[in-house]
Amino acid sequence: VHSSGILYPRESESRELVSLDGIWKFRISTAEDQEDGFRNKWFSTGFDEWIHMPVPSSYNDVTANSTLRDFVGWAWYQRSFFAPKRWWTDQQRVVLRFGSVHYTTVVWVNGKEACVHSGGHLPFQADVTELLLYGSANLLTVAVNNTLTLITVPQGHIDHPNNTGRYPPGTVLYHHDFDFFNYAGIHRPVYLYTTPQTYIDDITVVTDIDDDMGIIKYKVEYQNKYKDLPSVPQCRVFVLDKEGTKLTSIKGLVGKIHIPKANFWWPHLTHPNPGYLYTLEVHLFSDSSEDIYRLPVGIRKVTWNTTTFFINNIPTYMRGFGRHEDSNIRGRGLDYPLLVRDYNLITWIGANSYRTSHYPYAEETLDMADALGIMIIDESPACTIDYFTDELLLKHKEVMAEIIMRDKNRPSVVMWSLANEPKSFKNESSAYFSALVNLTKSLDPTRPVTFVTSQYSNTDKAVQFMDVVCVNRYPAWYSDSGHTDLIQRQVKYELTLWHLMFNKPVLVTEYGAGSVVGMHTAPSSMWTEDYQVVTLKEHFKAFDTLYQDGFLMGEMIWNFADFSTPQDSYLSFYRIYSSRRLQEGIVYSRRQPKMAAHVTRWRYWTLAHKS
C-alpha cells in the first residue's frame, strides 16, 4: 500500500519534467539461466548484446521472432540520460516514475537499486536524487518479469510436465485462464521530474452539488525530503475555469470551496458541454520554496439506488463497451494516435461509457475520458480468480489501494470493479469479496463498488456484497450457439432474475459475438459480420423491454475492438486468425468500423436522444 501519493507528473513553475521514452537497449535472459542478468550485474556493466526496443510498448510483437513473442521470464531494458547540474545546485528532489511495467520490476540507477514493484498496470516511482550523477551520463536499467503465479493479480499457472516421452526435461508450459494475451514490457511513459524539497505529495478531491452550486472538498498532503520541517507549510488553493480565469481562492491544507452557478461534469451526449473540467491550482509555501501543482477537477455527484444510477441526480443509462488496451505491434504500449482515434470512434458511435476490462488503463487514457465525458468503470487486474487465498487477498487489497490512490480524483471514474469473472460460485469467494468491498468502501465511500460475474443468480456467492449487479452473458454464442432466436427470451429471463434476487440495478457488462471483418452470409452464420449484427439487434430488443421495467442500468458490448488472445489458452481453438486475434470487436484491429459499429451507432444515438 502506498505510504505516499502518486500524482501524475506535471510540469509547473516549480517542477521540471523530462521524458525518458524512446528507443532503449533490450535483451532477455537465456531460457536455461534466468539469473544471468543479476549474476553478471548487467545493471552496472551495461549489455554486451542487445536489440532496439521502443518505450512505451510491449516487447512481444515488435520483432518477427516467436521466442520474444512467447517469452516468459526476466527481460532487461537499458538507456542512459543526463541530469542537469542545476538540479543539484537548486537542491531539487528528483523522482523517476513509470506509468506501468508488466509485471515484476526492478529498477537500477547507476548500478544501485532504485525500486522494486510488482503489478502490471499501475504507476510507481522512486526518489533518485541521491543516485544521480549531475552534469554527466547516468545508466538506467529495468528488469521485468512477466511470470504470473497464484499470488499475482491476475493469477497465472506454470506447468512443469514430467512426461519426458512427450516433453524434453526442463519444459515449462505457461497457462492462464483469462482470455487475452499477457503482453509485457514497459507499457507506459517513463518520466524524471523534479520538485522542491518540501513538496505536494498528494491531493484528494471530493465534489458535490447543491442546486446549481458546485462544491469541491479538498485535502493537500505534503512531505519534506529530510523530514525535519521547521514549520507547517502554508497552502493556497485557486480554482480556475476552463478558460483559465481564476474564480476563487482559499487558504489551508484542507478546505471546502463553493462555486455558484457551476458547470457540472456531464457525460457525452447528455449536455451541450460534457466533460467540463476546472483546475485546482495548489501552492505550497515552505520557508525556502514554493511548490505548485495543477489538478483537473470535474464537479459531479454519483448516486444510485436499487434500480438506477444517477449523475448529478439525473438517471443515467450506460451505453458502452468492454475494451482492451491492445493494438497491432505495440501490444499494450501507450500510443497517442491510437488513443485519440479510439476516442473519436467511441464518441462517433455515441457511447458514454466503458469498462477498463480487465485492468486499470493508462492515466493518459483516463485524462481523455475526463475531458470528453466518458464514464469509466475502473477495473482491477484481477481477471478470472480461481484460488481464493489470504495471500492473494493481501495482494488484491494492495492493488485496490493503488488504483484508488491513482484514480480517486477522476470525474470519469464512476464505479470500481474489483474483478472480472472470478470463480464466484465457490464458497470461499464470499468472505474474500466481502473483505475487498469493505476495504474499497473505506478508501472511497463515494463510488459504487462491483465486480463482474459470469455466474447465475442462484450460483453466485459474492454479488450480494456489491452495489450493482454486473453480468457477462453470451446467448447464441457460447450457449445455444447459432440460436439468435433465443436471445430475447433468455436475456429478459436472466436479467430479471438477477434483479429479483438481489434488488440492485443490473448492468450488462459483456455480450456479443465474434466476426471476421468482411465475412458475410445470408442467412447469417457464426463468425460473419451479419451474425454479429443480428446478435446485437436481438439484444437491443430485449434491453428495450427491460429498460421499461426500470432496473437496467446499461449495456456494454464485448468488445470495442478486436484484440489478441494467446495460442496456449484453453480457448485458443475457438479463436480465429492463427488463434491470435479475437474478433469480437465492433471495430477491427486497424480501427475501422465493422458493420456492427454502424448498427451500434444507430442504437446509441437513438438512446441518447430518448433520454
Asked whether the bond before 523 is cis by omega within 30 degrees of 0, the reply is yes
Q: Phi-psi bin for 579: left (phi > 0), alpha (psi -120 to 50), beta?
A: left
421 carries an active-site annotation: yes
Binding mask 164-183 for ligand GCB (x = CB under 6 A): ---------------x----
Taking the complex as a whole, the smallest distance from the CB of residue 62 to ligand GCB amounts, in Å, to 24
Q: Is 538 in the site for ligand GCB (CB under 6 A)?
A: no
β-pair partners for 446: none
Nearer to ligand GCB, 359 or 558 (CB): 558
Taking the complex as a whole, the smallest distance from the CB of residue 510 to ligand GCB amounts, in Å, to 5
First to last CA, the chain: 41
* Footprint of ligand GCB on 580-599 (CB under 6 A): 584
Burial classification of residue 552, based on how many CB atoms lie within 10 Å of its CB (0-12 exposed, 13-18 middle, 19 or more buried) = buried
- Distance of alpha carbon 21 from alpha carbon 454, whole angstroms: 39
Which residue from 12, 223, 454, 457 is in contact with ligand GCB, where contact means CB under 6 A? 454
Taking the complex as a whole, the smallest distance from the CB of residue 570 to ligand GCB amounts, in Å, to 10
- Distance of alpha carbon 265 from alpha carbon 209, whole angstroms: 10
Taking the complex as a whole, the smallest distance from the CB of residue 302 to ligand GCB amounts, in Å, to 24
Nearer to ligand GCB, 8 or 416 (CB): 416
Q: Phi-psi bin for 227: left (phi > 0), alpha (psi -120 to 50), beta?
A: left
- Which phi and psi (to 5°) does residue 34 adopt? -70, -15
Q: What are all long-range contacts of 207-212, with beta carbons under 8 Å and residues at least 24 apart? A: 207/265, 207/297, 207/298, 207/299, 207/300, 207/301, 207/411, 208/299, 208/301, 209/262, 209/264, 209/299, 209/300, 209/301, 209/312, 209/313, 212/260, 212/261, 212/262
**Binding footprint of ligand GCB, residue count (CB under 6 A):** 9
Q: Is 530 in the site for ligand GCB (CB under 6 A)?
A: no
Taking the complex as a whole, the smallest distance from the CB of residue 120 to ligand GCB amounts, in Å, to 16
* Footprint of ligand GCB on 343-372 (CB under 6 A): 358
Q: Is 566 helix (H, G, I), strand (E, B) or coil?
A: coil
From 379, 421, 529, 555, the catalytic residue: 421
Please identify which residue in the block is written with the cell numbers 479475437.
582
Q: Is 421 in the site for ligand GCB (CB under 6 A)?
A: yes
Q: Is 29 in the site for ligand GCB (CB under 6 A)?
A: no
Taking the complex as a whole, the smallest distance from the CB of residue 596 to ligand GCB amounts, in Å, to 15
Nearer to ligand GCB, 421 or 530 (CB): 421
Binding mask 545-564 for ligand GCB (x = CB under 6 A): -------------x------
Which residue from 420, 429, 488, 515 is in contact with ligand GCB, where contact means CB under 6 A? 420
Nearer to ligand GCB, 358 or 603 (CB): 358
Angle CA 571–577–578, to nearest 5: 70
Binding mask 98-117 for ligand GCB (x = CB under 6 A): --------------------
- Distance of alpha carbon 507 from alpha carbon 525, whole angstroms: 28
Residues recognised as catalytic: 421
